[in-house]
């Protein structure tokens, strides 16, 4: 799949985060204890697993999956015909649907805004997983987790989600011309 120029440009921070996350994991892997955190609960690490490539790099694999999904969504958002460019009559599959009920961007500008918001959300997800990797890749099997870790992981996700919602709301308020 060849990405459109806006997606390529906004995908760079995500690619850099993925590279940093992967390289950090590769450097840390030989120094990990034989048992590493599998789950972190309210009281710290509450489940452990044996060290393996799969268990140590689970957050990297999750980020790759999220990156593929959100990049595809951003690219498809840019490729769909906006409502403003649709002919006045409804498409054959859309009998009974009014233009405002169609689930597509209103304009090319709103499609670009939405695609960028999705890629920013992806970068925020990468930042959150980078913070989580700090606990996963510790060189000691310590049950304690710093109290600031949960808010620090949640904050980028909330910021990215808020930007995506703002882009969607702004799109819905944009009149179709």
How does pLDDT run across 146-166, given as a tens digit for each residue? 888 889 999 999 999 999 999
How does pLDDT run across 118-137, given as a tens digit for each residue? 999 999 999 999 999 988 89
Average confidence (pLDDT) over 7-22: 92
pTM to 2 decimals?
Answer: 0.85
User: pLDDT band at 52, cuts 50/70/90?
Assistant: very high
What pLDDT, on the 0 to 100 scale, is given for residue 87?
78
Please name the residue that has the structure tokens 């925020």. 124
Residue 160 class from Cβ within 10 Å (0-12 exposed, 13-18 middle, 19+ buried)? Answer: buried
Most confident of 24-28, 42-46, 81-85: 24-28
User: pLDDT band at 91, cuts 50/70/90?
Assistant: low
Residue 102: pLDDT above 80?
A: no
CB atoms within 10 A of CB 24: 15
Indicate the range of 34-38, 80-84, 90-94, 125-129 predicted with least confidence. 90-94
What pLDDT, on the 0 to 100 scale, is given for residue 92?
55
Average confidence (pLDDT) over 12-26: 95
pLDDT, the chain, mean: 86
What pLDDT, on the 0 to 100 scale, is given for residue 96?
53
What pLDDT, on the 0 to 100 scale, is given for residue 142?
76
Residue 95: pLDDT above 70?
A: no
Please name the residue that has the structure tokens 């403003």. 84
Q: Which string of DSSP letters, residue by residue, matches 6-43?
A: HHHHHHHHHHHHHHHHHHHHHHHGGGS-SEEEEEEETT
How far CA 171 is from CA of 3, 29, 92, 94, in Å, comes to: 23, 44, 25, 21
């Amino acid at each position: 799949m060849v990405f459109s120029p806006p997606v390529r440009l906004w995908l760079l921070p995500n690619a850099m985060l993925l590279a940093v996350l992967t390289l950090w994991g590769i450097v840390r892997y030989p120094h990990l204890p034989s048992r590493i955190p599998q789950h972190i609960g309210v009281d710290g690490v509450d489940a452990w697993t044996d060290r393996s490539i799969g268990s140590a790099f689970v957050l990297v694999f999750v980020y790759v999956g999220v990156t593929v999904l959100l990049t595809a969504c951003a690219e498809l958002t840019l490729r769909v015909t906006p409502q403003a460019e649709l002919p006045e009559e409804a498409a054959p599959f859309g009998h009974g649907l009014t233009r405002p009920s169609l689930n597509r961007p209103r304009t090319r500008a709103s499609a670009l805004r939405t695609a960028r918001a999705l890629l920013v959300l992806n970068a925020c997800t990468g930042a959150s997983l980078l913070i989580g990797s700090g606990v996963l890749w510790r060189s000691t099997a310590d049950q304690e987790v710093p109290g600031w870790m949960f808010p620090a992981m949640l904050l980028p996700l909330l910021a990215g989600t808020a930007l995506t919602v703002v882009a969607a709301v702004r799109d819905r308020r944009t009149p179709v011309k």
